Amino acid sequence: MNNAKKCVLSIILIHAVIFLSACGGGASNHASNTAKVTVTHNPVAQQQAFNELDVAMGIKGQVKTIVGNGYGDSIDKARRDALKNLAGSIQVDVVNQVKICTNQYGDCGSVVQVNTRSELPILGVQYQQLASEQGLLRFQAWVDSQYSLPIYVRELDKLTKAIADNQRALQQNLTADQRYQVTSALVADIPQYDKKRLVANVLGGYTQQARPKVDLKKLRYRLKQLEGRASSLRFAAKILAKGVTENSIYLHPPIPKNVQEVTPFASALKKHLSPLLHTVSLPERAKYNMDGEYEILANGNIFVSYRLVDLNYKVLHTNSVIIERSAHQAFRSKPTSVSFEMLLHNEVALSNKFHAELKTLHGSETLYYKGGDTVKLLVRLNQAGYYYIVGHVLRNGSQFSYLLELNDAHGDARFVRYIPQDQANKYIEIAEFEVSRPYGTEHLQLVAANKKFSRLPKHAYMYLPAEGSGYYALAGSQGNAAAGVSKTRALRLKQNKNKVLTSETTLTYTTRPRN
């Protein structure tokens, strides 16, 4: 009999408790060393538990893991919340990866080819139910370099081959319809390649492979030349809904690139598209999301593309169409403040160490409400901290920024709220209001810190007779809301240097009369 030492490592997961057992030595050695790691809501203790497990398994320092935490009153809601939180964590790491690659190594493959605000595909996600907190179920979701990365690599290899095959096909003598199908597939595959490669890079893989040499801008131009035309919004909606038979879809209105404003054109197109799909009214009920983007062409026509994605952001369908100018000219399609939105949303500093979220019951993207609708604002911090919110107004030639009153108090205390540790990682309702005049696009900028704010942006009360109300307007923001964004951001960065963790998040929603 072979008396060589054997070791069997077993992990048993029961009711969110991990037991690690190891056996060593030959047949005469029956001693065993068992370590018990109990899940806790204390993040420090939890990380120590994972570190101990890594050391025992001999993988400490080798596995890159990205984690998301979720809460809910049902298993489905808690898992969804954990997945959404994981997506945010991946987003933070991807943004940091882009900065590293751009600043230190130039363009390392695909990292600067994709808009990092867009949702990134999550492959090989794993779940674990943790101890409940305050009556809410708690789940953890994660991707890692040991299990998830190989899945990304396989997907990237498949996409690399598909892109190469379609590039060769374009060199052949194709019919117009065949050329459209091949070009459309390339335009869909390349962004997916870039997004999956970004996540693979963050997990430590796919860093040496050359990115396929494809001119996406030229391909998109060719696709627009081949694209079918629609002479009415109703016909355009039929093209965009073609082949989409899935149930429980949350439909977003289309938006221009880098903008969250829902224009009258976008809401009109959504109105025609919605009856053709099996939709739900709230994101939390959805099994799929259908989001769209549009571009106003030089001749006045509009190119619209839609995609259907599952909860892991896997693309299932893509459709596009060109809507002729005569079909949409009754609706404004040009957003009102592109440069302001790019400043507000695209320069937000992100960190997983201290993270803030601001959303409504309808999510945080493509938000659109009519007069009389009720809007609820929800905030979440990943650890105890303080926050305040700055609103930015741009309408009818008037611009200013102001501090939202969150408490019935005096002085700066009326603007600042505190979230204790036992409420961390949970969405907390902070405001509920009914949509009313004045209508337009509203922008919110939340600033959070793990310690008390030393000071807030300078402000003074400003009364607006036309509205019959007043605002605590930021100094220097009247006539220039961009200055309000910059001053708020500069103050946050200044406080961040004093060993205070700070975070920022933004939200835009559009309101219109109900008619």
Cα 310 from Cα 117, distance rounded (Å):
18
How far is the first Cα of the chain from the last one, in angstroms, to the nearest whole number? 86
Gyration radius of the chain over CA positions:
25
Strand boundaries in 48-171, DSSP class E: 65-72, 126-133, 136-144
> pLDDT tens for residues 429-459?
999 999 988 888 999 999 999 999 999 999 9
* pLDDT band, very low/low/confident/very high, at 95 (cuts 50, 70, 90): confident
Beta bridge partners of 267: none
Do 338-512 and 227-335 fall under one CATH topology?
A: yes
Asked if 474 and 458 count as a contact pair (C-beta separation under 8 A), the reply is yes
Token output for 126: 């794993």
Kindly give the pairing relationship between strand 255-256 and strand 302-310: unpaired
- Per-residue model confidence (pLDDT) at position 397: 74
Joined together, the tokens standing for residue 432 give 């509920």
Spatial distance between the Cα atoms of 182 and 167, rounded to a whole number of angstroms: 8
Alpha carbon distances (Å) from 160 to 125, 166, 197, 198, 337: 23, 10, 11, 14, 38
Q: What is the pLDDT of residues 142-152, one digit of tens each?
A: 999 999 999 99
Cβ contact 115:195 at 8 Å: no
Average pLDDT (104-127) is 64
- Residue 60 tokens read as 């400490």
Indicate the CATH number of 227-335 among 1.10.3470, 2.10.260, 2.60.40, 1.20.1070.
2.60.40
Domain residue spans of the chain: 227-335, 338-512
Instruction: Give 1's DSSP letter.
Output: -
**Beta pairing, strands 32-38 & 288-296:** unpaired
Cα separation, 394 vs 442, whole angstroms: 8
Q: What is d(CA 93, CA 115) in angstroms, rounded to the nearest whole number?
A: 14
Written as six digits, the tokens of 481 are 């809301």
The yes or no reply on domain 338-512 and CATH 2.60.40.3880 is yes
pLDDT digits (tens, 9 = 90+) for 235-291: 999 999 999 999 999 999 999 988 999 999 999 999 999 999 999 999 999 999 999
From residue 86, give the alpha-carbon distance in Å to each of 93, 219, 241, 273.
11, 33, 30, 30
Q: What is the spatial distance between Cα 154 and Cα 143, in angstroms, rounded to a whole number?
A: 15
Specify the DSSP element, H or E, that contains 355.
none
Pairing of strands 229-230, 315-323: parallel
Encoded tokens for 174? 């194709």
* 189: pLDDT strictly greater than 70: yes
Q: Which two tokens stand for residue 89?
A: 């964590």
What is the pLDDT at residue 426? 87
CA distances from 218 to 183, 228, 304 (A): 10, 18, 17
What value, to the nearest 5°, has the Cα angle with vertex 432 and ends 428 and 434?
Answer: 160
Token pair belonging to 127: 């779940």
pTM equals 0.81
Q: In this predicted model, what pLDDT tens digit does every residue of 194-213 receive, in sequence order? A: 889 989 989 999 988 888 88
